[in-house]
Amino acid sequence: YVYVNERISFWEVIYKKSNLLDFRSINSYAIDSEEPNIYLFGSISRMEPPIIQRYNYQNQDIEAISNLPPPNYTGKPIKLFNSPNGKEIVVDQGTELSFYDAITLEYKYNIEPGGISYIDDIEYLGDDLWAITDSDNVFTFKRDNANLFLIDKAPHFIEHQATFNYNIYVLEGNRLMVGHENEPNSIVYTLDGNGKFLSQKNVSIHASWSYDGSKIVYNPAENYLLDFSQNRLYSAETFQYMESFETPYFPSGVSKDGLNIYGTNNDPDWEITPESLHKKEAIIFNRNTSSFQKIETLGYPHILFESYNGEVFSISSGLKKERLSQNINDKADIFIEKVNTH
């Protein structure tokens, strides 16, 4: 329309860049390590429930949209698993798990694990074995389609923390680690091939957590744990400190080979103002050379990740914002861009 007053006249045109996603905010995501797909869980409108999208970042195409929104929003991140039941997106509903076909994003069914009051985290261990933790114990289950059968359970922390923030990390050698933001140490469990607990020990790893989820990432290629909150690496064998890095100040991803760390220097706690120091810039730190590369981006990078074929992409926003879950004036400004590393 045309707006006219005594001083100003201009045309206001509703315009949307072709690569902008429909989301006003993104609560969580899951990256496919085998295909150019990312699964995004968020809201396209304040008036509608959150949805899941399967997005091909190579072709910039939406390939599927969930046909049924998860009945409850718990704030837990969606997860992508590949098991004998195929690739599935799993949404933690607190007392039960919602399963979606990862290709079509059609809702399949809910599974309610027996003996668990509230699900804090779930991970797939392989051979149709699954690990689930609540605020008191960690459990292993064997899955048979829409059923989970209890195999074993073991207690974790003596101090009873509030629900949420208990996280499971699957390590090599039939091991898993359970940690909590409020606990200074984590617990590593060793299992046999059938999912039975054999032993457990405390390790000096603090399982940092933030609004975006766990700040601990396991890299199997180099067998280390990376703490995004402190920029420190720990051996996943001895759990001793290995090394640290200064920049990127706020890492968000790591290469499959474990040699490159991706992130930005934009502080999520900065006040959003026209004068704030946010930059449209990605940073890649190389562990071999102890050097970093700054790369100009189209938007403000939030999450950087390596694609299935080794390229680097960023979930970026056109507007300055604290995090992807922030909805600014109900405007769509989020997109996925390739980071030019050459």
Encode pLDDT of 177-192 as tens digits: 999 999 999 999 999 9
Distance CA 189, CA 270 (A): 39
Answer whether 20's CB lies under 8 Å from 334's CB: yes
Sign of CA dihedral 172, 112, 119, 68: positive
Q: What rounded mean pLDDT belongs to the chain?
A: 91
For residues 38 and 185, give the distance between their C-alpha atoms in angstroms, rounded to a whole number.
32
Closest by alpha carbon to 255, among 206, 190, 304? 304
341 pLDDT tier (thresholds 50, 70, 90):
confident
Asked whether the predicted pLDDT for residue 15 surpasses 80, the reply is no
φ/ψ bin of 247: left (φ > 0), alpha (ψ from -120 to 50), beta (otherwise):
beta
Mean pLDDT of 2-27: 58
Distance from C-alpha of 256 to C-alpha of 179, rounded to nearest angstrom: 23
Using a pLDDT cut of 90, give the percent of the chain over it: 81
CA–CA separation, 291 and 286 (whole Å): 6
Three-state DSSP class for 212? coil
At residue 303 the predicted structure's pLDDT band, cuts being 50, 70 and 90, is: very high
Residue 298 falls in which region: left (phi positive, over 0), alpha (psi -120 to 50) or beta:
alpha
Lowest-pLDDT range of 31-35, 124-128, 208-212, 214-218: 208-212
Contact 76, 91 (CB under 8 A): yes
Q: What is the bridge-based pairing of β-strands 250-254 and 260-264?
A: antiparallel
pTM over 0.85: yes
Residue 115 has pLDDT above 90, yes or no: no
Cα–Cα distance measured from residue 261 to residue 219, given in angstroms and rounded to the nearest whole number: 11
User: Above 80 in pLDDT, residue 14?
Assistant: no
From the centroid of its chain, how far is CA 207? 15
